[in-house]
Every structure is written in C-alpha cells, then in structure tokens.
Amino acid sequence: MTLGDKVAPPGGTLGILGGGQLGRMLAIAAARLGLKAHIYAPPGDNPAFEVAASHTTASYTDADALSAFAQTCDVVTLEFENLPLTALEICSGHAPVRPGARALAVTQDRVEEKRFLREAGVDTVDFWAISELLALPEALSDLGGRGILKTRRFGYDGKGQARINDPSEIDAAWSDLNGAPAILEAFAPFTRELSVIVARGLGGEIVCFDPAENRHDQGILRVSRVPGDISQAGAAQAVAIARRIVEALDYIGVMGVEFFELEGGALLVNELAPRVHNSGHWTIEACVVDQFEQHVRAVCGWPLGEPARHSAAEMSNLLGDEVNAWRDLASDPRAAVHLYGKAEARPGRKMGHVTRLLRG
C-alpha cells in the first residue's frame, strides 16, 4: 500500500490542522468512530484542544513541528483553507493529507477558483482580476457600473470586501482593501442563496446532503434551512454541479459548495469551501451520518455514510453575545444547542449554533 492509499483504522490517529470549532466537531466525530484526534494549531483560543486525544501548539511555518505532528498521524486533514501550502507539503511527506494541496491552491485564491469553475463547465458571476487601482474603472464599466471588490485571498464571513455602486466609490473601496490583489465580481441578481455539502471518498464514490437554503447578514451566515425553497429539478442540478466539482479536483473529503439561485432557477456557484461547512451543521441532528463523520470517513478511507435526512431542520448561528442566552436556549425542548467553548465573545464571532427539527 502506498502512502496515498493509506487508511486510518479504528484506534488510528487523524491529524487536524486547525483548532477552532470545526476541528472540535471533527475530533468529536472521530472519537465516535474509535479514532484519536491530534490537533495542530498556533497559540491562541483553540477549543478543539479540549476534546482531542492530543495537540501540538506551533506555527504553521514550523517545519520541525509539522513533521513531528504528521509522523504521529495515519491521515492529516484540515478545518480551514487559509493555511500555507508548505504546511501541507511538509505533512504529506509523512502521512496522506486529504484534501490535498491542489484543492487549497484553487480555493485560497478567488480568481483561480472562478477560473477553475469555468474550466469545469460551472457557471459563475462575471469577474475581473484586479492588481492595481488603474484597472478598476474599465472593469467596473464592463460589469455594468456596479460590483463587489474582494481580496483574492484570506477573506471570509464578509471580511476583505467592499461594494461599489458607483464609479465615485472606486478609490474608497480600493483603500478598504489596502491595495491587496483583488477580484471584482459582478452583482448576482439572486432570489436565494443555497449550498450543497458534498463528500468524495478515497475510491471516488460521491454522496451529497440535501441542498440548504441560507440567509446571510453582512456576509455572515445566520440561518440554514432544509429543505430549502428550491424545486426538485433545481436541487438535482445543484447536486450534479457539486459532484462535477469534486470530480474535477480529484477531491477527498467534504466540501461546501455555495450557490446563487437566479430568477428562473439558474444556478451560479459563488464559493467553494474545501472542508466541513457552517451551512451543514444541521446534519448533526437531521441525518444518521452528519457532515463531520462523513468527512472523517472520507479522509480516513472508510466507506461513506448515508446522507439522507430523516427530518427537516433549521440551524441558527449564535454570534457574539447571543451565546449569553444559553440558559433560555437550553430550556427550549426543540433546540439542540452546540457551544464551541471559545474564551471571548466578540461581535460577529461564531460562538455556537442551535438546530431545531421541523415538520416536513
């Protein structure tokens, strides 16, 4: 068996790069399957450490620490995409890293991501790569005089972006991004936002959870609801697109694929997340095998689980001080409360989520 074919059997160790809430929930899912989790993260607030069998505190650029970490693991995965590619390359010398460096290279850069999607035959909004202020007026004109300027890298939850509704706002938007390499995207006249959680296993098998309908506020997901208000044909199309994407990337693990649904039902892919995704948290209560266990199964070389849901569900994020209502939430007989154990509640910070099962 080559390193690329290696599996993590019960009793084995899954290494996780990242110590946040997604790493925490991955570690919990691994433990249910009899696997140990070893978390690697820099110093800071790392709630995943609390539920893992072991952890390493070191920089993502510390080659010696990364090598020592990977040597303890059967398989290495990640909880977020903004990692140095060199960290994955170092780990891959000692254990298979799933998903791999190619998935991160594509999804870390919004321009490369959209180019990849177009090459894979997937529709996106029109866009321009922007490397200097002088390019913005022509690009904005080409996109109809309005657009969203985003950093090419390291943006999430609405950070690293500025709306431009008029050419007079170009200078201010460029200043907001501090002149970082950027992408200008056309506005999408969408009727709703959707997402599909898709998983691809080591043998190439693919399964998808039902599409969720999502509501955002200032770029941060507030609510995901399943089933979404989407036609059967639209749901089938979203699943087919998600399958095409993971096949084109030769991807292993769970991926979140975010969509805009336009008037008339056409779908545009907005973003890819090469990891478990916030809009898939509802699967913990509404499916026999949730997205976290599905990711563990996929990257560890296990058979994938059945993604069908047994209940309708609505998941709401708890941001900042909203977590202080934990007593009332815990008193609600319909609420499944998940708190992430973070030390500080800051405005807009995801402190937990609540899922309620619904009729239908």
Residue 100 CA to residue 294 CA, distance in Å, equals 17
Residue at which a domain ends, from 50, 79, 97: 97
Domain at 166, CATH number: 3.30.1490.20
Determine contact, residues 285/316, Cβ cutoff 8 Å. no
Are residue 354 and residue 236 in the same domain, yes or no? Answer: yes
Per residue in 322-335, pLDDT (tens digit) is 999 999 999 999 99
Tell me whether residue 328 is in a domain. yes
For the chain, what is the mean pLDDT? 94
Q: What is the pLDDT of residue 64?
A: 98
**Has residue 298 got a pLDDT over 90?**
yes
> In terms of DSSP bridges, do strands 127-130 and 182-185 run parallel, antiparallel, or are they unpaired?
antiparallel
Q: What is the pLDDT of residue 177?
A: 86
Are residue 211 and residue 312 in the same domain, yes or no? Answer: yes
Are residue 286 and residue 165 in the same domain, yes or no? Answer: no
**Has residue 301 got a pLDDT over 90?**
yes
Are residue 131 and residue 61 in the same domain, yes or no? Answer: no
Q: What is the pLDDT of residue 359?
A: 73
Per residue in 43-85, pLDDT (tens digit) is 999 999 999 999 999 999 999 999 999 999 999 999 999 999 9
Are residue 267 and residue 350 in the same domain, yes or no? Answer: yes
Q: What is the pLDDT of residue 349?
A: 94
Q: How many domains does the chain have?
A: 3
Q: What is the pLDDT of residue 342?
A: 96
Residue 188 CA to residue 339 CA, distance in Å, equals 34
Residue 112 half-sphere exposure toward CB, CA atoms < 13 A: 12
Per residue in 172-215, pLDDT (tens digit) is 989 888 888 999 999 999 999 999 999 999 999 999 999 999 99
Are residue 200 and residue 216 in the same domain, yes or no? Answer: yes
Query: Where in the sequence is the domain holding 165, given as residue range(s)?
Result: 126-185
Residues 6+ apart with CB under 8 A from 38: 13, 14, 15, 16, 52, 53, 54, 55, 56, 69, 72, 73
Residue 263 half-sphere exposure toward CB, CA atoms < 13 A: 2
Are residue 213 and residue 349 in the same domain, yes or no? Answer: yes
Per residue in 1-26, pLDDT (tens digit) is 577 789 999 999 999 999 999 999 99
> Would you state the structure tokens that stand for residue 82, as one six-digit string?
């903004």
Q: What is the pLDDT of residue 156?
A: 63
Are residue 229 and residue 334 in the same domain, yes or no? Answer: yes
- What share of the chain has pLDDT > 90, as a percent? 84
Q: What is the pLDDT of residue 10?
A: 97
Lookup result for tokens 């609420």: 335
Residue 143 CA to residue 146 CA, distance in Å, equals 6
SS (H, E, C) the chain: CCHHHCCCCCCCEEEEECCCHHHHHHHHHHHHCCCEEEEEECCCCCHHHHHCCEEEECCCCCHHHHHHHHHCCCEEEECCCCCCHHHHHHHCCCCCECCCHHHHHHHCCHHHHHHHHHHCCCCCCCEEEECCHHHHHHHHHHCCCCEEEEECCCCCCCCCEEEECCHHHHHHHHHHCCCCCEEEECCCCEEEEEEEEEEECCCCCEEECCCEEEEEECCEEEEEEECCCCCHHHHHHHHHHHHHHHHHHCCCEEEEEEEEEECCCCEEEEEEECCCCHHHCCHHHHECCCHHHHHHHHHCCCCCCCCCECCEEEEEEEEHHHHHHHHHHHHCCCEEEEECCCCCCCCCCEEEEEEEEECC
Are residue 149 and residue 269 in the same domain, yes or no? Answer: no
pTM over 0.85: yes
Tell me whether residue 114 is in a domain. no
Q: What is the pLDDT of residue 180?
A: 87
Tell me whether residue 117 is in a domain. no
Domain at 284, CATH number: 3.30.470.20
Per residue in 97-111, pLDDT (tens digit) is 999 999 999 999 999
Domain at 61, CATH number: 3.40.50.20
Residue 124 CA to residue 188 CA, distance in Å, equals 9
Residue at which a domain ends, from 163, 185, 207: 185
Q: What is the pLDDT of residue 234?
A: 95
**Has residue 339 got a pLDDT over 90?**
yes
Q: What is the pLDDT of residue 354?
A: 98
Q: What is the pLDDT of residue 360?
A: 52
Tell me whether residue 7 is in a domain. yes
Are residue 17 and residue 130 in the same domain, yes or no? Answer: no
Tell me whether residue 103 is in a domain. no
Are residue 236 and residue 296 in the same domain, yes or no? Answer: yes
Are residue 313 and residue 332 in the same domain, yes or no? Answer: yes
Tell me whether residue 62 is in a domain. yes
Tell me whether residue 104 is in a domain. no
Tell me whether residue 112 is in a domain. no
CB atoms within 10 A of CB 303: 10
CB atoms within 10 A of CB 265: 12
Q: What is the pLDDT of residue 249?
A: 96
Provide the residue count of the chain.
360
Per residue in 135-183, pLDDT (tens digit) is 888 988 999 899 999 998 876 655 678 899 989 889 998 988 888 899 9
Residue at which a domain ends, from 81, 97, 113: 97
